[in-house]
Chain A
Amino acid sequence: MGNFGGVWILAEQRNGKIRGVSYELLSWGRDIADKLQAPLVAVVLGSGLKKDAESFIFRGADEVIAVDEPPLAFDAPDAHSAVLEFLVRKHKPEVFIALATTYSRTVMPMLAVKLETGLTADCTSLDVEGGTRLLIQTRPAIGGNVMATIKTPFTKPQMATVRPGARKPPKEDKTRIGKIVFEKVPESLLKSSVKLVGFVKDETSEIPLQEADVVVAGGKGMKNAKSFEMLFEIAELLNGAVGASRQAVDMGWISYAHQIGLSGKTVNPKLYIAAGISGAVQHIAGMSSSRYIVAINKDPDANIFKVADFGITGDLFEILPLLIKALKEEGKKNERI
């Protein structure tokens, strides 16, 4: 199949800023590159990238390939996938991984089709098979009820998207050095039939739900929209974001953007707090890979307790206010230290 080599990660930018989650990919990529004894290359397309290119080297990349062109400032899927196709055909990476975000879940499938290679969506773990050098891609399917291990044995690059939030970004080491290349691509590739005409920032969530370290979620047991304010307060104290079950969304207490589960978002935080959520399979599908799950429910038989690491059987209207108070006290203690 010719000389394919190197592990690539696709970094992301929005509105001229590198999206912080991109650095998580360097943890995934570094492991694979070390196992394959191959260089780790961060690829980023956008505009005004000069100032940030080095940050990938500091966090573990051996090389950065950047395409810095004003038309790429917006994530136009046709232009971005065309530029990536050009880069892949030129440099022939063996592995190319990206995040399972709105950007990469749009661009990577287009790229995979153009290159006629395999792409495994939303992986929760990646490994390398000794001997064959094949990427072992593991992902949940059917609402997390099944895990599948997938290989791309015949074509290269082997491509995968991975869940944001699953890995921590490597620490910065400003002494690391590496190569930074600003590539020029044929102008025709930058043309797009899609253009950005406006952007409305979501004011209710400072931290995107799928990228938050802590998610505080509420369900039908929250009873009304007003009590969600408690969850927003807890989320703020823990530097997290607020989620919800479909019931809570259907009742109109919070917008669909916060829905977690099969027909909502999949999250992967370090801590997931479920308050007044019964734990229907469709909800569990979106949060079962959280590192620690805390459940508060007054029904001791609620399904959510089966997936909880720590559960309280009790009334959330008694527990949440006390939790807020306790967290504030903890915050004060830390200030004093």
Chain B
Amino acid sequence: MRIGVLVKQVPATENVKIDEKTGVMMRSGAESELNPLDMYAVEEAVRIKERLGGEVVVLSMGPPSAEYAVRDALSMGCDRGFLISDRLFAGSDTLATARILSAAILKLGGFDMIFAGERATDGETGQVGPGVAARLGVSLITYVRKISDVDNFRVVAERAVEEGTEIVEAALPALITVVKEINEPRVPDLAGKIGSMFAQIPVLSGKDISINKEKVGLKGSPTRVAKVFYPKLTRNGRIIDGKDPEKAVAELIRFLKEKSIL
């Protein structure tokens, strides 16, 4: 089984604090990390390889620093990693990213299964996985909470939808996007950590993956960010003391009526 995993480097959000006066984001500590959900994608890929044999190849598109996201994935048991990086890729939106990742996947000879996170914590679009599947023309299963069965030809998976769980079967090759429920990612052992530190991570440029430079980066992206602003989070609501709980609840009921909820 040849398995690919798509991982993204994101700002380390637990370190993001908002300056209350200016509303500006203040970052402290490590600047970036492997997208948390992608660890679940890596874990599932490695588990399947451990069961069925084969190899897991991890890919990340991003600036040179995204190499660390690849190393993190390698430390969890992926066999090889590639960084897809080129100055021309800067400013890619989800369409351009899907084109780049698909071109790299094809260049590497394709995979039987490709794993991605359901969404990344920075853009939170969740559009890259389905986009890659569409581009490659492979089966797609999103929001996967469990892989029930997999062999060399097909995969059966549970996907979490609004009203419950769908059980679906897809022919391979397939791209799977995972949610947190799917597994408990392993903590890399020392050997894995050291191995990943010394691993060679080839960099694939736009030329290497033979992509049209008009179709990548800002130039190749149909969407444009026109403005970024910081929302006011503070609401200055009414806070009352609950020492007298009866009275507090009566006030709450009044509030709910005022807002025509009751």
Interface of A toward B, CB cutoff 8 Å: 14, 19, 77-78, 81, 101-103, 105-114, 116-122, 136, 140-155, 193-202, 208-211, 214, 238, 256-257, 259, 262-264, 270-271, 281-282, 284, 288, 291-294, 296, 298, 300, 305-315, 318-319, 322-323, 326-327, 330
Q: Does B50 contact A (CB under 8 A)?
A: no
Q: Is the CB of B242 within 8 A of A296?
A: yes
Q: B residues 88-104 with Cβ under 8 Å of A?
A: 93-95, 98-99
Shortest C-beta distance, B179 to chain A (Å), equals 8
Q: Is the CB of B156 within 8 A of A313?
A: no
Q: Does B29 contact A (CB under 8 A)?
A: no
The 8 Å CB contact of A202, one of B164, B230, B234, B237, is B164
A142-B25, A309-B237 as given contacts; A112 in contact with B245, CB under 8 Å = no
Q: Does B11 contact A (CB under 8 A)?
A: yes
The 8 Å CB contact of B230, one of A147, A312, A326, is A147
**Pairs A-B, 8 closest by C-beta atoms:** A314-B242, A118-B222, A198-B167, A208-B162, A110-B134, A118-B223, A109-B127, A311-B239
Q: Is the CB of A105 within 8 A of B121?
A: no
Q: Is the CB of B127 within 8 A of A197?
A: no
Q: Is the CB of B235 within 8 A of A201?
A: no
Q: Is the CB of A309 within 8 A of B235?
A: yes
Chain B 216-256, CB-CB to A under 8 Å as 1, else 0, gives 00000111111111110111011111110110111111011
The 8 Å CB contact of A122, one of B124, B139, B223, is B124
Q: Is the CB of B167 within 8 A of A271?
A: no
Question: Who on chain B is nearest to A325 by CB?
Answer: B249
Q: Is the CB of A270 within 8 A of B261?
A: yes
Question: Who on chain A is nearest to B18 by CB?
Answer: A145
Q: Is the CB of A210 within 8 A of B162?
A: yes
The 8 Å CB contact of B233, one of A19, A106, A194, A284, is A284
Chain A residues closer than 8 Å to B246, beta-carbon distance:
322
Shortest C-beta distance, B177 to chain A (Å), equals 9
Chain B residues closer than 8 Å to A142, beta-carbon distance:
11, 13, 16, 25, 121-122, 124
A155-B222, A199-B166 as given contacts; A263 in contact with B180, CB under 8 Å = yes
Shortest C-beta distance, B246 to chain A (Å), equals 6
Q: Is the CB of B226 within 8 A of A151?
A: yes
CA distance A117 to B171 in the complex (A): 28
Question: Who on chain B is nearest to A249 by CB?
Answer: B180
A-B contact count (CB 8 A): 275
Shortest C-beta distance, B193 to chain A (Å), equals 24
Q: Is the CB of A194 within 8 A of B139?
A: yes
Shortest C-beta distance, B33 to chain A (Å), equals 13
Chain A residues closer than 8 Å to B233, beta-carbon distance:
144, 284, 288, 306-307
Chain B residues closer than 8 Å to A305, beta-carbon distance:
237, 239
Q: B residues 20-67 with Cβ under 8 Å of A?
A: 25, 36-37
The 8 Å CB contact of A256, one of B125, B181, B225, B252, is B181
Q: Is the CB of B226 within 8 A of A118?
A: no
Q: B residues 69-102 with Cβ under 8 Å of A?
A: 93-95, 98-99
Q: Does B4 contact A (CB under 8 A)?
A: no
Shortest C-beta distance, B46 to chain A (Å), equals 20
Shortest C-beta distance, A162 to chain B (Å), equals 13
The 8 Å CB contact of A141, one of B124, B171, B237, B253, is B124
Q: Is the CB of A148 within 8 A of B241?
A: no
Q: Is the CB of B140 within 8 A of A110?
A: yes
Q: Is the CB of A310 within 8 A of B255?
A: yes
Q: Is the CB of B248 within 8 A of A77?
A: no
Q: Is the CB of A200 within 8 A of B125?
A: no
CA distance A315 to B241 in the complex (A): 10
Q: Is the CB of B36 within 8 A of A263?
A: yes
Q: Does B141 contact A (CB under 8 A)?
A: yes
Q: Does B109 contact A (CB under 8 A)?
A: no
Q: Is the CB of B225 within 8 A of A195?
A: no
The 8 Å CB contact of B121, one of A106, A262, A315, is A262
Q: Does B210 contact A (CB under 8 A)?
A: no
A–B complex contacts, Cβ < 8 Å, 5 sampled: A106-B130, A195-B169, A211-B162, A293-B237, A306-B233
Question: Who on chain A is nearest to B240 by CB?
Answer: A312
CA distance A293 to B13 in the complex (A): 23
A77-B140, A313-B240 as given contacts; A153 in contact with B224, CB under 8 Å = yes
Chain B residues closer than 8 Å to A143, beta-carbon distance:
13, 16, 121, 124
